[in-house]
Each structure stands twice: as C-alpha cells, then as structure tokens.
Chain A
Amino acid sequence: MIADFGFGVLLVAFLASLYSVIAALYGEFNKIPAMVESARRAMLLTWPLLTLAAGILVYLLVNDHYEVKFVYEVTSRAMPTYLKVTAWWGGQAGSLLFWSWLMSAFASLVTLRKWDRDREFLPWVIVVASVTLAFFIGMNLFFENPFRQFYQTFNNEIAAYTFQPANSILFTPADGQGLNPLLRHPGMIIHPPMLYLGFVSFVIPYAFAMAALITGRTDDRWIRLTRRWTLWAWLFLSAGLVLGGRWAYDVLGWGGYWGWDPVEIAAFMPWLTGTAFLHSVMIQEKRGMFKHWNMLLVILTYDLVIFGTFLTRSGVLSSVHAFAQSAIGPLFFAFIGITLITSVALIIYRWDLLKSETQMTSLLSREALFLLNNLLFMSILVVCFWGVIYPLISELFTGQKVTVGPPFYERATGPLWATLLLLMGIAPLSAWGHSTLKTLGRAIWIPAFGAVIVTAALFVTYTQNVFALVGFFLVALVILVTIYEYGRGAYARSRSQGENIFTAFWNLTGRNRRRYGGYIIHLSMMLMAIGILGIELFQVETQGTLAVGDSLQLSGYTVRYKEVASWDNPGAGVNHTRAVVEVYDKNGNLLGNLHPRKDYYYDTQQPMTIPGQLASLKDEVYVLLIDWEPITPVGTTFKIFVNPLVNWLWLGSLLFLVGVIIAAWPDKDPERVTVRDGKRVPQASAAD
C-alpha cells in the first residue's frame, strides 16, 4: 500500500518536472513571465516530492518490507538499521532515485537564488535541469521502479509488478537477500553519495552554459555564476574518487587503491574535464579568451557524467555477464546522443559570439601554460576513453576480446602526468599576459636548485630508481615553487601592511582564496603524488603458508603468525575468522599486532577479506588472510604487502579538502565585485 503511494509520489514528481520544462518553454517563447515563474515553482516542488518518495523507500527499507522487490534485494533482517538506510543506494533502482533526489535538491537551490540580473537565463536553466531530472525520474518510474512488489498469481508464480495483477495476492518473503558485503564498508557508504553529488552538481554549470548559448548572452556571466558551483562539484567528485580508492584499499584485498577498472575510469573522466575546465575558466575570466573551449569542456563534463552512469549500468562493458538487460542502456544512450548533438550544434551556431576578446602575447604567459595544461588533461582523457572503448572496438571489428589493464594506462598517462607536474611547477611563476624566459628563469632557479638538492639527497639515501627520482624531483619542484610563491606573497604583505608573517599568511589566503586555495590544492596533489609514486614503484609483496609460530620476511619486516580463531556473530549473520600476527622491525622490536580477517556473510554467501594494516609515514604493512582450513592443520596462508609512502596519499587528500573548501568558500558579497568587472562586456556586445 505504502509502496504504491511512493510510486504515486514519484509519478507526480515526474509530471512536475515535465510541466516545468513545458511551462518554461511556453513562457519564454510567448514572453509570459508568470509562466516562467510557474515553471520555477514546479521545479521547486520536485525536491519535496522526491524527498517524500525517498523517505517512503527508506521507511520500507528500515522496516523490512520484503514484499518490495528492491527492499528484498538489498537488505536482510540481520543488517543494522544504518546499513538498511544506506542500502538505499546499494542497488540500481534506489541509486537512481538517490541521483534524482540530489539532482532536484541542486536544481532547487539554483532556482532559489536571486535572478534579477539574469532573468533571461532562468527559463533555459530550468529547461535543462528539468529535462535531466525528468529523464532520471522517468528511468525510475518506467524501468527501474524501486516500489515494485511481489505478487503471487493463482498458478503460484511469483513475480514483481508495479501494479497488482488480477487474481493475485501480495507475497512477502521471510527475509531479504542482504546487501553485498563489499558495500557495507563505511567507505562505500559515503563514496557513492559523494560521487553522485559531484556528478549531479556538474549539471548546473552545464545548464547555465546551455542557457548562455541559447540566449546568446555569451559573455562570461555564466562562468561567474557557476564557478563556485563547479568548485563544489569538483570537490565532491574528487572526494568521491578518493573515498572509492580508500574503500578499494580497505576491502578489496589486493593491496591497491586504483586498478584502472573501467568503472573507476568512468568516474575519473568527468574529473579530468572538470579539472581542465577549472583551469581554463580562469583564462576566460582574466583574459576573455577561449570561450568556445570552456563551453566544450562543460558539455563534455556533463556528457561524461551521463556516459559514466551509462557505462556502469548498461552492461556494455561486461558483455559475458550482462545481468541488466533492461531498457536503461538504450535510453541512456539516446539521452547522451541527444544532449551531445544539441550542445555541439549550439556551440557551432553561436561560434561567432564566442570570439576571444584579447590575444595571446606570449607562449610563456600563464594563459598559454593553462592551455598546455588543458592539452595534457585532454590527452589523459583520450587515453582513458580509448582504453575503455578499445575492448569494445576490438570485439566488434576483430571478434577478439581483449583486456586493457593498468600497464596500458600507466605507460600512456605516465609521461603526461609528469609533464603536468612540471607545468604545475612553472605556471604559478608566470604572469598573465606576458612572461619571458628571463623573468621565468629568474623566478624558478631557487626552487629548481632546491629540488635538485632534494633529489640528490634521495638518490643517496632512498632510491636509485630513475622514475622515482624524476617523479620526486618534480614533486619537490612544485612544492618548493608553491611555498616560495606563497612565502613571497606573505612576505610582501607583511612588509607593506606591517603584519607579522603568520597574520600575513592568513590574510593573504583570505583575500585571495582562489589563488591560495589553488596553491594548497597543488601542495595536496604533491603529497598524493608522493604516495602514488611510493606504492606504484616500490610496493613489494610475498605470500606464504605458515604454521603457528612461523614467520614471513618482507623488506625488513618480520610477520609472525600467532593464532587464528573463528566465531559466528549470529546477530549480524556473519562468521568472522581472525588471525593475530605480530610485526617486528629489522632489529626484532615488536611493532604491534595485526588482525587480518575474513568475514563470511551468510545472507549473501559472500566472503570479504579485511587486511590488517600497520601504518606509518614511511610505509604500511598490509597483511591479508588468504586461506584458512579449519580441518587440515597445514597452516594458514597470508599475503603481505609493504606499501611505501602510501599514507601520504591519504594525508594529501585531507589537505586537498582544505584547499578546495578555501577556494570554494562563498565570498561575503560574491555578486558585487564580479559584476562590476563584467559589466563592460555585455554593453560592448550589445553595441555591435
């Protein structure tokens, strides 16, 4: 009953979003502001409606309503309540609803702002956002309805239906199948919402870009309106990716955080274009150049978001084990096709209006370096995209199934990443407009010299690996350049304002949040790069079967097997097998006990391998319990990784959050300042 109600609410939300599309178009074409206003209100209505629908779904999940197919598939009685709530996004239908819900929240937020100055954008922003929203709700409504219930017909067949078939009764299974144990990890609970937040918030810049293209008001107003959105979107997307990595590291039990899996890459691609956009958008703001390019990046990001969702849900990538032969795939495809073609056609149509206002004056100017940065990000995107569709192409044209795995991506993107690091080192030192080799050289020699010294020190004490040394040199260069720049700014400020250096630091960052937030982000990326270099180049592993008391040695560590125990946790429906191992360092000092374990979930009949981790800034000992035979006393098999420097990656991600929040934090009065600068431009374009 209540499930039917949920379906009804979903339907109303769908109609409301459709209505807002139609009303906005009608109002726009017939110049009826009241209609547009009505569309805006309809749009505002979708969020409460979807919240209600979502609330109903969560209610069903929490209260064990197994007659609802979705509830049956993702929860079980043994699961704690918080997991039942998060099971909302643990399955296809629920996660689509989750997506729509977030999308409507963002669309509502954006329609709530003051529109006085940007009336002409409003109808089109509504149209684009509502079309996207209607598409996702429609998906839920017609193909992946989370409120479908089991009915038993008279010939004893049980199946899930949206509407009760004739001569049938509701069927309630005694217990659900339970959530995939891999999805029960805290990382997996936060990771999808973050990723979705990132995905969804990129719809807003897209909507504004489209509105600018359609109305022909192609100055950088739309960019000023959306740049903070974009930063937040980027923050969420980045956080989602990092959390996904952490989750993989903690539960997948292969000692890594990133496997260049197509699903990961699908989420990574919008990040690449988004990052490129964040950089190139600054050129447009400062110099009025590359407007086409920015539009294109926004469109690409939006369509890559949809494409990523499509890839992971349509079964295109996994042709042998395609479980979902639903109509979702073709619809997603059609949606991508239509939006991509419309957007590109619009850009071509408006090409003239998007002319650059100034010219480039130097190849070493900051805008030129930003363009190089864009070239590199786009090249990485091409590598990723190609890697993802290459198996498809190979199978279609040669009939040969192939895998494109990490070696390809590492080899193809490695040099690109290295060049990006180099750019990151140079760009902050170059000025907008013009720089020369001389000015650059003067600025860079001190940090470069410092980086050489650091590299030499590393060569003597840490590693002779060429890649590592090149990598560490670049990292050191970027860190030193950034600190040098930061320090110079703070020094200048403390001199001129008579502040002490720390106050100067603080105020400098506060006054110039975007710039210095950006620097902090660069620094955080460098910390991450240290971690990535460490684990990629120096990870070692060993595996062995041990009797109690035996030990394994790996890169100076001794791991001694102490004991193993296995017990049932009936309340949670889990069997735990936990080993205790001791870790000693080179000199035989006990560093600590680790508890690698294997959890077996009875409801889903799936095992999960949880590593024991001994973390430090130098490295991390990561012990996995691979195999354990309760009957035969042969021993227990352990796999041990030593992952050097990996924790810098996680530290870097924390600093990263700080940096983005500094850069994206709303100004006290964001409109006043920006509009005064931008005002000249619309007037100029109106004049001709």
Chain B
Amino acid sequence: MTESQSTPQRKGVPLWAQAIIWVFLAGLLAIVAMGLNRAQQGTIQPGHAVSDFTLPLFSGYEYEGKSEVHLEDFRGKVVVINFWASWCKPCEQEAADLQRAWEKYGPTGEVVFLGVDYVDTEPNARIYLKKFGITYPNGPDVATRISQYFRIKGVPETYFIDREGVLQYVQVGPFSSLQQIENIVDPMLADE
C-alpha cells in the first residue's frame, strides 16, 4: 500500500486533461446561462427594428386581396400586431375595442392592423372572428415563428410598429378601452 504511493507515478492531472475539463464545464455553464438569459428576457423592447416576417391570411380576412402579407410591405405605415387565440378568455375583452380602432384608422390607409392567431384551430378561430365581427387581416402564426420572434409571454399581446419599422410600444394583456389604443396610435401618426 505504501509502496504504490511512494513510487512517483503521474503527478496530478495532465494539462490537456485539465483544459478539456474546464472547456467542458464552461460550455455547460454557458448553455445554461444562455437558457436562463432567454427565460429572463421579456418580450422584445421598444426601439427594436422589427425584421420582416410573412403572415399567411385566412380566406375572407385578406389584405387588399392578398392571401399573404409581409411586414416590409407596410413600410411607411403604422402597423398594429395583435396576438390572440380563440381559447383565450382575456382576448375577448379587447376584441371589440380593437375592431372599433380598426374601423377608425383603417380607412385612412395610414394604419394596418394584423391579427396573429397564436396556436389555434382554424374553425374555432373563424367562430371567434365572426363572433366579434372582426374585419381586419388575420392569419395563423404558422409554427409559432412570429410569436417566437416577438418572444411573447402569452396572449393577448399587442405590438405597435412605426412607419420606419421600429417597435414603439408593447401592450401585454388586453386593452380596457378604445381610448387606450388611440393614446398609443395617435402620437405615432403625428410623428412624421
């Protein structure tokens, strides 16, 4: 027993092995840190230049006859993106206000409303849209790509993008009145 200890064998851990261990540990911690960072991040913040995305639209809810829209198409207009779902109870609180806001701003051609239907089934989505008489363009969030980009935390959430394509305001949770929407959109329209 004493013999094996007194015979000098390998001393300590070879440097390359230490390097591997530390790189491995650092990698592991880095992944967890990135995950944590992601979990802690909220939605994307105002000031963020929103990159282009494609939204296919439900038939009957097209935009100027197009069955698919790109955010890029609306450069120069204020874009209001509303995330909702038919199974979402709080969404129902704001549905009528959003529609009224659309009726007010839509005709001016200055503002576009887009309803993004977050993980939903089309038949139920249609029932919901009909129930609240919604007419602005609406389409499914295919494979949750758009909601993942905005890092939404739930539905409803509404994002206001200005004429330059920069996010100006984020509403988490439902609107309580038409006034509330106007208070956000009007200053954005005034900004030339």
Contacts and interface: CB of A to CB of B under 8 A. Distances in A.
Contacts of A321: 153-154
Nearest to B4: A357
21 contacts: A315-B40, A316-B36, A318-B39, A320-B153, A322-B153, A330-B36, A330-B40, A333-B29, A340-B29, A348-B13, A351-B13, A356-B4, A389-B32, A392-B31, A392-B32, A392-B34, A392-B35, A395-B35, A395-B38, A684-B5, A688-B5
A329 B153 contact: no
B12 A351 contact: yes
Interface in A210-246: none
Contacts of A359: 4
Contacts of A688: 2, 5-6
Interface in B1-56: 1-2, 4-6, 9, 11-13, 18, 21, 25, 29, 31-36, 38-40, 42
B36 A357 contact: no
Looking at chain A's contact residues, is the secondary structure mostly helix, strand, loop, or mixed?
A: helix
A389 B34 CA distance: 11
Contacts of A393: 31
B40 A333 contact: no
Sort A-B residue pairs by CB-CB distance and give the 8 closest, nearest first: A392-B35, A316-B39, A315-B39, A351-B12, A357-B1, A316-B35, A348-B13, A319-B39
B169 to A, nearest CB: 20
Nearest to B9: A355
Contacts of A395: 35, 38
Interface in A170-203: none
B35 to A, nearest CB: 4
Contact of A389 (B1, B35, B39, B42): B35
A325 B154 CA distance: 14
Interface string B134-169: 000000000010001000111000000000000000
Nearest to B24: A344
Contacts, number: 86
Contacts of A392: 31-32, 34-35, 38
Given A315-B39, A357-B4, A399 B12 contact: no
A316 B35 CA distance: 6
Contacts of B9: 355
B39 A355 contact: no
Contacts of A344: 21, 25
Contacts of B153: 320-322
A616 interface: no
Contacts of A288: 1
Given A288-B1, A316-B39, A321-B154, A333 B6 contact: no
Nearest to B2: A684
A325 B25 contact: no
A314 interface: yes
Contacts of B40: 315, 322, 325, 329-330
A618 interface: no
Contacts of B32: 316, 333, 336, 389, 392
Contact of A399 (B31, B42, B148): B148
Given A319-B38, A322-B39, A687 B1 contact: no
Nearest to A322: B39
Interface in A338-379: 340-341, 344, 348, 351-352, 355-359
A685 interface: yes
A348 B21 contact: yes
B12 A348 contact: yes
Contacts of A333: 29, 32-33, 36
A496 B4 CA distance: 39
A189 to B, nearest CB: 29
Contacts of B148: 399, 401
A355 B32 CA distance: 33
Contact of A685 (B5, B25, B31, B42): B5
